[in-house]
Amino acid sequence: MTKPRFSFSISATDAKARAGTIQMRRGDIRTPAFMPVGTAATVKAMRPAEVRAAGADILLGNTYHLMLRPGAERMARLGGLHGFMGWDRPILTDSGGYQVMSLSALTKMSEDGVAFSSHIDGSKHMLTPERSMDIQRLLDSDIVMAFDECTKNGCTHDEAAQSMERSMRWAKRSRDQFDAGGDHAERAALFGIQQGSLNEALRRVSADKLIDIGFDGYAVGGLAVGEGQEAMFATLDFAPDMLPVDKPRYLMGVGKPDDIVGAVERGIDMFDCVLPTRSGRNGQAFTWGGPLNIRNAKFNEDMGPLDPRCGCPVCATWSRAYLHHLVKTGEMLGAMLMTQHNIHFYQELMQGIREAIAAGRFAAFAAQFRRDYQRV
């Protein structure tokens, strides 16, 4: 039996929290889902089989980075992103809009798109909704993100409104170009991105415009850009409820473990963040008791595991003292093992969330998590 292009079913709810499954040609995605970030066709310091063994159903790839290196057309000639990196399950690609504004130099935005200079070699490029869709098709992405303008934190109401309206026009252009993608459009999905900063009225306008265009799923964009957890949660108290109940809701760029638990409580189904990998490379482990800096001298003779509650191969095999030694001496294996633990922890957290929702005890799970998790 042929798997569906894209379907989403909710198997359990607990207040606003939802547990379900996204079905796609390349496999099922259990929700709530955390997507490890594979920016440049790799989850840094991990092999794809290890990422899968940790429990990940889907990865995130990055349009901006891959269009610059190795290049979208070259990726297509090489058979697409999946075969290139050795990951045969679903991949979501972001549209490149956020990275263009945050990484590249000399950006010039117009109604057409964004002209920018590469942060790598200064070469000139133009990214438009149409080009973003074409790049994501050449990568053979499974879940394509509409091209949007990521509204800056702290902007005025008028700036937020103008930015949101432009993103909605770009969303329609993204939809049209995606639909013209032939075979790819018949096996992939397209998500729209809600904008509107922290403003409820703007978020409502954005949601209504996206629903009118029609997408397979909907992201809550423009958060995790420096507004802080309190403001983010205040926005999530209303923003997800504006989106269709029968479609997945994706909170882009989030986040810390306690951010994720709070967002699931507010109806979010999908997450991505560089934190578990970036923090791992910098000597920070996430544990059920909160983040832990393995560089700290108190661990130099600690023979216990990173996290006694964790079932990952790192915690089963190596001590805090050994990991402290690896990280302090700059050994490559230190970054690899710390990253592997963090990816595993995030997936264990998601599995615990899904099981708690299914059992109707997510409120108790969240309360216990917050008691145990000492956020730094």
Catalytic (active-site) positions: 94, 272
Q: Could you tell me the two tokens for 279?
A: 């923090």
CA neighbor of 31 nearest in space, from 124, 180, 164, 143: 143
The answer, yes or no, to whether the previous bond of 32 is cis (omega within 30 of 0) is yes
The partner residues of 33 in beta bridges, in order of sequence, read 270
Phi (first) and psi of residue 360, to 5 degrees: 70, 25
Instruction: Answer for the pair 184, 210: CB distance below 8 angstroms, yes or no.
Output: no
Edge-to-edge strand ranges of the sheet holding 114-117: 105-109, 114-117, 124-127
The partner residues of 292 in beta bridges, in order of sequence, read 285
Q: By CB neighbour count within 10 A (0-12 exposed, 13-18 middle, 19+ buried), where does 117 fall? A: middle
Total Cβ atoms within 10 A of residue 77: 11
Angle at 88 between CA 189 and CA 277, to 5 degrees: 90
Helices (H) and strands (E) in the chain, counts: 16, 16
DSSP state letter for 151: P
Q: Could you tell me the two tokens for 76?
A: 């297509």
The partner residues of 251 in beta bridges, in order of sequence, read 220, 271
